[in-house]
Amino acid sequence: MQKNVIIIGAGGHGKVIADIVEASGDKLIGFFDDNLSGKIMGYDILGKTENYAEYPEAFFVIAVGNNKIRRKIAEKIKGAKLYTAIHPSASVSKYAKIGAGSVVCAGGVVAPEVKLGEHCIVNHGAVADHECKIGAFTHISPNASVCGQCEIGESCHIGAGAVIKNNVFIYKNVTVGIGAAVAKSIDESGTYVGIPAVRIK
């Protein structure tokens, strides 16, 4: 059944999700954005986040890469129907569980028995390998690889091209820098960079 979708956030990530909605055969009604007006990719910006209740039959997806902002918007639209955006070219196992409002971009891989929390992003070419547990509001950036049986807490950001070794635990609110390699578990929030990754703040 075709779904009517509104994307919250009309920036670059919003354009990516618009492409996913179109490719999936669902109907994009338009965008909400708290700072922009006019049209994006030929679609109207219909209003601000606070207007969501005016569209009770629509499904909403939050197109904001920043985890903290995405969480704040999710709180504002609590009770709304959530759209899970999965590009047809993504490889998502039928044995995986994808949380409501999450996004899997083109070329993304979500392997068997992965549990992906709500409002997560698996960006272009990113991999969540077998039996991983990914907390809500976590963003796995383009071409990052989370190897098998990892557990990643809520609101983490795994930078583009980063690699997380198998069987690693990562605490909540952790940022892993671009191209970093995480070879052992991370038990404290903060920013980790380098090969092997070390905490810098």
Rounded to an integer, what distance in angstroms lies between the CA atom of residue 116 and that of residue 49? 25
State both tokens at 93: 């196992």
Phi-psi category of residue 41: left, alpha or beta, with phi > 0 → left and psi -120 to 50 → alpha:
left
119 catalytic per annotation:
no
State both tokens at 120: 């997560």
Instruction: Exactly one of 124, 130, 139, 157 is catalytic; name it.
Output: 130
Q: Which residue has the tokens 């919003």?
A: 14
Q: Which residues pair with 91 in a beta bridge?
A: 109
Alpha helices (H) along 77-168? none
Asked if 42 and 21 count as a contact pair (C-beta separation under 8 A), the reply is: no
Rounded to an integer, what distance in angstroms lies between the CA atom of residue 129 and that of residue 146? 6
Rounded to an integer, what distance in angstroms lies between the CA atom of residue 108 and that of residue 144? 10
What residues act catalytically?
A: 130
